[in-house]
Amino acid sequence: MSYMLPPLPAGFRTPALAFAAIALAAITAAALPAEVVEATSAGFSLRGTVTIQAPPADVYRKLVTPSEWWSSSHTFSGDAANLAMEARPGGCFCEKLPNGGGVHHMEVVYVNPAKTLVLHGALGPLQSIAAVGSMTFDLTPEGQGTKLAFKYIVAGYQPGGMVSWANPVDGVLAEQVGRLKSLLETGAPAPRKAEK
């Protein structure tokens, strides 16, 4: 089944850059166990699990510091350094924009440090349509590392339905989790190049 790429708002990079970023995300996602659980005209559900070779407390500390691992290609400002998260109920996963502007990406609604983080909101271009979402990260010890399970459930309306958003959003989320894993295991968030 093929999916049409949904339109992106003008402020979210240029269409050519957005398409390239989504294509890169899809390639990166293939290396991670992320999947579209369900996609309907009313919304979609994504989930994935990754093992990170770091203790849960370390994974959590980085998880709530998106400026260190989120891709600049998936920001409105073009620079992940403008991202911040207040790890408390009611806290903002926000982004600074030039001239005093900003973006409220998601709101933190549940915090259990080193165990669970739940955020509500519509990421990136989902903000330009009538969409709401709930993103959950669960951290559990696994050997000397951490099993990070994540899910993002999105509901909303757009002409033609929400199905077309599932695969692009899944790819972007898988890319970000891959960057988090890479940062914790190698010290750099950029995905490692495949060995030949």
Q: Are 154 and 37 in contact (CB under 8 A)?
A: no
Assign residue 181 the CATH number of its domain: 3.30.530.20
Q: Is residue 40 included in any domain, yes or no?
A: yes
Q: Which amino acid is at 156?
A: G
Q: Is residue 116 included in any domain, yes or no?
A: yes
Integer Rg of the chain from CA: 16
Q: Is residue 1 included in any domain, yes or no?
A: no
Q: Is residue 193 included in any domain, yes or no?
A: no
The contacts of residue 162 (CB under 8 Å, 6+ apart) are 39, 40, 41, 42, 43, 44, 131, 154, 155, 156
Q: Which amino acid is at 126?
A: L
H helices present in 15-162, as ranges = 15-29, 56-63
Helix (H) or strand (E) holding 177: helix 163-186
DSSP 128: G
Q: Is residue 25 included in any domain, yes or no?
A: no
The contacts of residue 161 (CB under 8 Å, 6+ apart) are 40, 41, 42
DSSP string, 51-77: EESS-HHHHHHHHT-GGGTS-GGGSSS
Q: Is residue 101 included in any domain, yes or no?
A: yes
What's the chain's length in residues? Answer: 196
Count structural domains, the chain: 1
Residue 191: its pLDDT value, please? 64
Q: Is residue 61 included in any domain, yes or no?
A: yes
Q: What is the pLDDT along the chain (196 residues), one digit of tens a residue?
A: 222 334 444 444 433 334 334 444 443 343 455 799 999 999 999 999 999 999 999 999 999 999 999 999 999 999 999 999 999 999 999 999 999 999 999 999 999 999 999 999 999 889 989 899 999 999 999 999 999 999 999 999 999 999 999 999 999 999 999 999 999 999 999 765 543 3
> What residue numbers bound the domain in which 107 lies?
36-186
Q: Is residue 24 included in any domain, yes or no?
A: no
pTM for this model (two decimals): 0.81
